[in-house]
């Protein structure tokens, strides 16, 4: 797992890239790199112990070909801000999209599949208690909000409250503590190994 690998408009990912250690969630059938998968479940359990309802993962690893098929249908599916194939960090297997049960219940059908959620229903995650909880705690489990509202000018991607990226606990805590996005962190990190 290349935990700090950057995939964005300037750093595309090869169409043949496939992460090792992918595991499949038996319920949702979503694939994720094992470490990220295990940490997601720890985080989801911790959140539920504090009285919130379960989070649902609706997208994890996406192959180049699957991203291509989503992009080809983006108007039909109602996606306004989906990355073109080769530019999605979902191909790394350590990025995931999250929703709450209320979004699932309001959905036109409740199959847990990314293609069934349009951008508008995903943005609704922004106003949930789950999102507030993640703002405080996700780094403790190694996850960062990958496209914060105020970092658009650096990430080039508009605010996605539902999209999280696994970077490991150590990096995640430093990123959050210093209010950085991944692009900023990688730049600093490569300049100062001790950061
Ligand atoms: Zn995503």
pLDDT by residue (tens digit) across 102-142?
A: 766 555 444 456 666 777 778 889 999 999 999 999 999 99
Residue 107's pLDDT is 53
Ligand 1 mean position to 194 CA, how many Å? 30
The length of the chain, given as a count of residues? 195
Residue 4 lies in a domain: no
Ligand 1 mean position to 83 CA, how many Å? 9
Q: Please return the burial class of 108, using the count of CB atoms within 10 Å of its CB with bins 0-12, 13-18 and 19+.
A: exposed
* Helix (H) or strand (E) run with residue 123 in it: helix 119-123
Ligand 1 mean position to 23 CA, how many Å? 18
Of 141, 131, 183, 117, nearest to 43 by C-alpha is: 141
Residue 6 lies in a domain: no
Residue 31 lies in a domain: yes
Ligand 1 mean position to 27 CA, how many Å? 19
Ligand 1 mean position to 109 CA, how many Å? 20
In the chain, the percentage of residues whose pLDDT exceeds 70 is 91
Residue 3 lies in a domain: no
| Mean pLDDT value of segment 71-92 | 87
Ligand 1 mean position to 158 CA, how many Å? 12
Residue 7 lies in a domain: no
Domain that holds residue 58: 22-191
Q: Structural domain tally of the chain? A: 1
CB-based contact 176:185 (threshold 8 Å): no
The two three-digit tokens of residue 79, written as one number: 């996606």
CB-based contact 142:104 (threshold 8 Å): no
Distance CA 31, CA 12 (A): 21
Residue 131 lies in a domain: yes
Residue 10 lies in a domain: no
Residue 9 lies in a domain: no
Ligand 1 mean position to 90 CA, how many Å? 6
The pTM of the full predicted model, rounded to 2 decimals, is 0.91
| Mean pLDDT value of segment 176-181 | 96
- 28 versus 52: the higher-pLDDT residue is 52
Which CATH number covers residue 64? 3.30.1380.10
Ligand 1 mean position to 195 CA, how many Å? 28
Ligand 1 mean position to 95 CA, how many Å? 6
Q: Please return the burial class of 98, using the count of CB atoms within 10 Å of its CB with bins 0-12, 13-18 and 19+.
A: buried
In the chain, the percentage of residues whose pLDDT exceeds 90 is 72
Ligand 1 mean position to 59 CA, how many Å? 7
Ligand 1 mean position to 183 CA, how many Å? 16
């Amino acid at each position: 797992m290349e935990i700090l690998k950057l995939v964005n408009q300037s750093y595309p990912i090869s169409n043949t890239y496939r992460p090792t250690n992918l595991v499949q969630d038996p319920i949702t059938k979503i694939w994720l790199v094992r470490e990220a998968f295990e940490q997601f479940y720890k985080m989801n359990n911790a959140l539920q112990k504090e009285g919130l309802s379960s989070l649902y993962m609706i997208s994890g690893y996406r192959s180049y070909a699957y991203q291509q098929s989503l992009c080809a249908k983006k108007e039909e599916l109602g996606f306004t801000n989906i990355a073109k194939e080769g530019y999605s960090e979902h191909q790394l297997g350590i990025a995931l999209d999250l929703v709450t049960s209320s979004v699932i219940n309001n959905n036109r059908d409740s199959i847990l599949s990314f293609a069934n959620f349009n951008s508008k229903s995903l943005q609704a995650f922004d106003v949930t208690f789950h999102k507030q909880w993640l703002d405080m705690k996700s780094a403790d489990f190694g996850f960062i909000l990958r496209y914060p509202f105020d970092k658009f000018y650096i990430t080039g991607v508009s605010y996605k409250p539902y999209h999280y990226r696994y970077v490991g606990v150590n990096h995640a805590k430093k990123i959050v503590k210093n209010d950085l996005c991944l692009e900023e962190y990688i730049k600093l990190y490569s300049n100062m190994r001790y950061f």
